[in-house]
Structure 1
Amino acid sequence: MSKKFLSLSMGLVLALSLLTACGPKRDADQVSNPGEKPEKLVVWENADDGKQIGHTKKLAAEFEKKTGIKVEVLPVSLLKQQEKLTLDGPAGKGADLVTWPHDQLGEAVIKGLIQPIQADASVTGQFEESSLKALTYDGKLMGLPKVTESIALIYNKKLMPNPPETFEELYQFAKDFTQPAEKKYGVLFEGENLYYTYFLIAANGGYIFKEQNGKLNSDEIGLNNAGTVKALTEIQKWYQEGLIPKGVKADVINGLFKEGKVAAVINGPWAIRDYQSANIDLGVAPIPKAGGKEAQTLIGVKGWYLSAYSKSPKYATELMKFLTSKEALKSRFGQTGEIPPHKEILTDPVIAGNPLVNGFAQQAKTGVPMPSIPEMGQVWEPINNAHTFIATGKQTPEQALNGAVKIIREKIKVQKQ
């Protein structure tokens, strides 16, 4: 979620009793009527990245030149935008457009902080379907996507000249290459973390929440079904055979990879710059097929959203469309390196011709959006604890997963009270 997507989603533990739909009430005429042309629109951009702020300010100047509407771009941390809008919105000091990873979408909708947008097929048709799905809540499109992220297979070409095509081949490579006594490993990833194991769970028929009629049903949890048990039994084998050290985290994985002791890792684009600093000849490829299926990773999408407090929703939506146009997103990629889920840009040589970037882009195409319903906040801790029990051999996969789902159900029940 950068890895911010993951950290944000893991921190999303909500007390719904505090989340009342406190946004302003609007009737249809107020939203559809453009009203008077505003003198100024306000945008909150990620305060933690100067390149992102700089690019949005550049686009703001172009929009002002085109429309005569001044756009003020203010730096606000992605983690703080909802909290700030909750306070500033009712006071008339909030932004017209805000941004955060899509896994926070459910929280924002329940709080009444954002409103659906109006966009026809000429706009929505530009984007990968999975990115639009990520920004859709309760059947309504709540924003437009600007960035998509997914993990993929990152490999050292010197140690792994050609990436395996199947997960079975990846396992065999790991067995042949790994020498734990010398801290040499064929493939490393955080096998005690749902974010990194989900692709194997999905390949075997597991899921987090069941999708029914385009909506996720939090009463239907698939994290202890036969498919998930099979996937985590496979992961357990990697630990039992010493292919992944128990308890290994990103810092150790990254360090060993940079030292040339690991042939490949499963990680995200946020790691590339650090790996390149070690002068490794890198390759990036989609994660090998599992069970004959393309690997479905959990993808994160950052989008622009229309504040429920905006006094100029029509013009703010036009600004949103401008910020997510082909030209805008292509230049944003050039300045920030963030991959946009825009169909034409993904086939453009600027991405398609860059093997490192294209590997992540191709993986994201087959990914599924991380659940954005508030109940997802109750999943991470119990399921990751179950992963650890399985990796350390303290519990069987069935015991650990059944226990985790029981806890998740209890936490969701409390959340809904």
Structure 2
Amino acid sequence: MFKKCFLISMVLVLAMGLLAACGPKRDPNAGQAAEGKPDKLVVWENADQGEQIAHTKKLAAEFEKKTGIKVEVVPVSLLKQQEKLTLDGPAGKGADLVTWPHDNLGQAVVKGLVQPIKVDDSVTGQYEEGSIRALTYDGKLMGLPKVTESIALIYNKKLMPKPPETFEELYQFAKANTKPAEKKYGVLFEAANLYYTHFLISANGGYIFKDQGGKLDPNDIGLNNPGTVKALTEVQKWYKEGLIPQGVTADVINGLFKEGKVAAVINGPWAIRDYQSANIDLGVAPLPKVNGKDAQTLTGVKGWYLSAYSKSPKYATELMQFLTSKEALKTRFEQTGEIPPHKELLADPMITNDPVVNGFAEQAKFGVPMPSIPEMFQVWTPINDAHNFIASGKQSPEQALNQAVKLVKEQIKVQKQ
């Protein structure tokens, strides 16, 4: 899942600066031709999902049979892998391949935990361009993608037979089908979270960091420009009119949807199995157009990365390619339900003929990768705090956003010192 709420800490900022010097400094491709074949490679897989571990272990056995190299799969929580690699890497106990959401990539590079990989165009060309872009940092490819995620419109077909085509139609549907006294709502989403409001911000001309020819400029922040103010003024209207209750959480939204009290929610694929357990006839569709534009959601990509401490970068990269091959990602989808960012698989009937999965896949085509530069670390808390001030009516969108962006810039300045 890609929702993040980061706690800003001076200690952590300073620690990041120190850790940047901790990773081994090497050319990842130097001497690969002469690299000796290892007896074993170590992979850290997501400890929080048993199906993912089981699938990677199955692939590990196939790779061993094919190459003679044993692959040890170790369960480690996604958001704890960087911390563990910081300690285990220098001690020679770290993994060769690690994995986490791409928006944590910038921190890993700053800490010196990962190294670039070298693969040819025939490899990178297999994947959706956005997924490769998400795993590229400062012009260098740092890994290969295995999963892509985006929010979309998930609806109860009994309560919403056909999804609205425009955001204005969605708003009108919400007004007509919301009865707060009965805890019944037309549409709910976490509207006090940048991850969920980005599509409105983008459609109105706002942005997080300015994209300068494929490179994000952390000095140009568009989260308080007129477009963002307009977008969050719209969000504030939903709260003022009671279409979204104050302080609503993901658990409350999910509970109400499963009870049949909400016609539609804006959420991600991680919620589907829980919703299906409630025997709801689900539909999934791309978000409705905003101002005539396709809704640009923030997409998340989970990838495999090559540890900076790996003593076998050549063979570890071969293993990475094996784990992200068409065949591997197809069986991963079949076993875990995770959507592969592979061009041929996204066009495969197993996805195109599955209306639930295809709804997310179609939305992902309009998505933009969450920024992975280290400065993004400083954005989430101030901007989400501003969202909350706007939702509660304590501040106008302009006041809240100006204050938040000022804080973001101050924290980025401290981070760079």
Normalised by the shorter chain, which TM-score bucket?
over 0.9
1:6 paired residue number = 3
Task: Identify which range, 242-251 or 143-152, moves more after superposition.
Answer: 242-251
1:346 paired residue number = 346
Query: In the alignment, residue 258 of structure 2 is paired with which amino acid?
Result: K
Task: Classify the secondary structure of the residue corresponding to 2:153.
Answer: strand
Query: In the alignment, residue 328 of structure 1 is paired with which amino acid?
Result: A
How far apart are 1:12 and its partner, in Å? Answer: 7.9
1:406 paired residue number = 406
Matches within 5 A, 1:44-59: 44-59=44-59
- How many positions carry a matched residue from both structures? 413
Per-residue CA deviations over 1:263-305 (Å, capped at 9, x if unaligned) read 1000111111111121111100011111111111111111000
Matches within 5 A, 1:132-211: 132-211=132-211
How far apart are 1:11 and its partner, in Å? Answer: 5.5
Task: Classify the secondary structure of the residue corresponding to 2:30.
Answer: helix
2:93 paired residue number = 93
Per-residue CA deviations over 1:165-197 (Å, capped at 9, x if unaligned) read 111111111111112222211101111111110
Distance 1:386 1:28, change over 3 A: closer
1:360 paired residue number = 360
* 1:44–1:75 CA contact under 8 A, matched in 2: yes
1:119 paired residue number = 119
Per-residue CA deviations over 1:311-344 (Å, capped at 9, x if unaligned) read 1111110110000000000000111111111111
Matches within 5 A, 1:54-93: 54-93=54-93
Task: Identify which range, 20-29 or 58-67, moves more after superposition.
Answer: 20-29
How far apart are 1:390 and its partner, in Å? Answer: 1.1
* 1:198–1:298 CA contact under 8 A, matched in 2: yes
Q: Which runs of 5+ in 2 are unaligned?
A: none
Distance in 2 (alpha carbons) for counterparts of 1:385 and 1:25: 38
Query: In the alignment, residue 45 of structure 2 is paired with which amino acid?
Result: E
* 1:135–1:143 CA contact under 8 A, matched in 2: yes
Distance 1:182 1:28, change over 3 A: closer
Percent identity, aligned pairs only? 80
How far apart are 1:39 and its partner, in Å? Answer: 1.3
Q: Which runs of 5+ in 1 are unaligned?
A: none
Task: Identify which range, 23-32 or 308-317, moves more after superposition.
Answer: 23-32
* 1:31–1:313 CA contact under 8 A, matched in 2: no
Task: Classify the secondary structure of the residue corresponding to 1:366.
Answer: coil
How far apart are 1:29 and its partner, in Å? Answer: 5.9
Distance 1:226 1:317, change over 3 A: same
Please, what TM-score do these two structures have when normalized by structure 1?
A: 0.96
* Residue 284 of structure 2 corresponds to residue 288 of structure 1: no
* 2:28–2:313 CA contact under 8 A, matched in 1: no
1:251 paired residue number = 251
Distance in 1 (alpha carbons) for counterparts of 2:261 and 2:51: 33
* 1:31–1:314 CA contact under 8 A, matched in 2: no
Distance in 1 (alpha carbons) for counterparts of 2:60 and 2:260: 44
How far apart are 1:38 and its partner, in Å? Answer: 1.2
Per-residue CA deviations over 1:332-366 (Å, capped at 9, x if unaligned) read 01111111111111111111111111111111121
Task: Classify the secondary structure of the residue corresponding to 1:208.
Answer: strand
Task: Classify the secondary structure of the residue corresponding to 1:10.
Answer: coil
* 2:28–2:117 CA contact under 8 A, matched in 1: no
Cα RMSD between the aligned structures? 1.4
How far apart are 1:27 and its partner, in Å? Answer: 3.8
Task: Classify the secondary structure of the residue corresponding to 1:163.
Answer: coil
1:216 paired residue number = 216
Distance in 2 (alpha carbons) for counterparts of 1:31 and 1:285: 49
Matches within 5 A, 1:294-373: 294-373=294-373
Distance in 1 (alpha carbons) for counterparts of 2:256 and 2:29: 59
Matches within 5 A, 1:24-39: 24-27=24-27, 30-39=30-39
* 1:186–1:262 CA contact under 8 A, matched in 2: yes
